[in-house]
Amino acid sequence: MGRIEAIFADASLKKPAFIGFTVAGDPDKATCIRIARALIAGGTDILELGVPFSDPVADGPIIQKADERALAAGSTPDTVFEIVREIRKDSQVPIVFLTYYNIVHRRGIEKFYREAHDAGVDGILIADMPVEESEEVCAVASRCGIDPIFLITQTTSDERIKKIAAKARGYLYLVAVLGVTGVRDQVSDGAIDLLHRVRNHTHLPLALGFGISTPAHAQTCARAGADGIIVGSAIVKIVDRNLSDPGTMILELQDYVQGMKRV
């Protein structure tokens, strides 16, 4: 049983599992490692690392700025693998990459996945890869023991949901809003409808992301039966507003995760 599967199979886990996102290398490698460790210390069940990219089309301005900071600091895929190896020195929390196909293709699919596995990565989500073009990637992921994770949106048809669920492992990432990442006021009825619709087609764990940021959001997701919640922009906002005070940043991140876990 892999680390992601073990998280959702853990009977003692208080649902929904908390999946915390940060951009690898933001604002620099050393601080990012401290951020990751603060998220884990706060109780993050699965750590999602964004691989910095110049054109992150799924992300709103908050995460785009984080990508820019990471790239300006010299972050590369090598940096991201180094960050994972540092985290693995003291934590076995599942780690998932959120990346874009261009990054994987340029490095070579087999090489990227093998290096990810060797560093300690458990799952990879390629945000701009449609399921219809995922055959090679999924085959490599299977050989490397890495869970291929896919996005499902509110506009995804039932037929495509079935295709995605047949390819996916680990969990399915359900996009709670129409649009890009960013903090929202509430969890939409459309997100809950999507959760129920996808549940009809798979037994994989379902995690809601995009716009989830408050304990009230987490409670709404929990009542609806979500297996996990994915929080990115709210975490990156804490990083952004404390760039000049890393000590406060780390304390706020840990406190934030603890608050989200108390639902």
Residues with active-site annotation: 48, 59
In the block, residue with structure tokens 């693998």: 81
Looking at beta carbons, which pairs linking 107-112 to residues 24 or more positions away fall under 8 Å? 107/77, 109/136, 109/137, 109/140, 110/140, 112/77
CA atoms of 154 and 193, how far apart (whole Å): 8
Closest by CA position to 230, among listed 50, 1, 11: 50
How far apart are alpha carbons 238 and 219 in whole angstroms?
Answer: 21
Provide long-range contacts, Cβ within 8 A and 24+ apart, for 220-225. 220/186, 220/187, 220/192, 221/16, 221/187, 221/195, 222/15, 222/16, 222/263, 224/192, 224/195, 224/196, 225/195, 225/196, 225/199
150 within 8 A of 126, measured Cβ to Cβ: no
Say if CB 56 and CB 98 are below 8 A apart: no
| Cβ atoms 96, 62 nearer than 8 A | no
- C-beta separation of 27 from 239 below 8 A: yes
